[in-house]
Structure 1
Amino acid sequence: MTVILQGLSSRKFGATSMNSESCRSHTVFTCVIESWSKETSSNDYSSSKNSLISFVDLAGLVKDKQVDAEREFEKKRKDLKSSLSHLGHLVDMLAAGTQPDEAMYKDSSLTHILQQSLGGNAKLVVISTISLDIKYSS
Structure 2
Amino acid sequence: MKGVVLLSVLLLVARSQGRYEDKKRRLDHTRPTAASERALNICDLQQEHDLNMFCVCEPRNEHNNATSANCWMFNSGESEDSPVWTWFRSQRHLTKMILNVRSLTQLSYVPTRALKQLSKLKTFEIVYANIETIEPFAFAN
Bin for the TM-score computed over the shorter chain:
under 0.3
- In the superposition, the TM-score normalised over structure 1's length comes to 0.25
- In the superposition, the TM-score normalised over structure 2's length comes to 0.25
Higher strand share: 1
**Bigger Rg over Cα:** 2
Higher helix share: 1
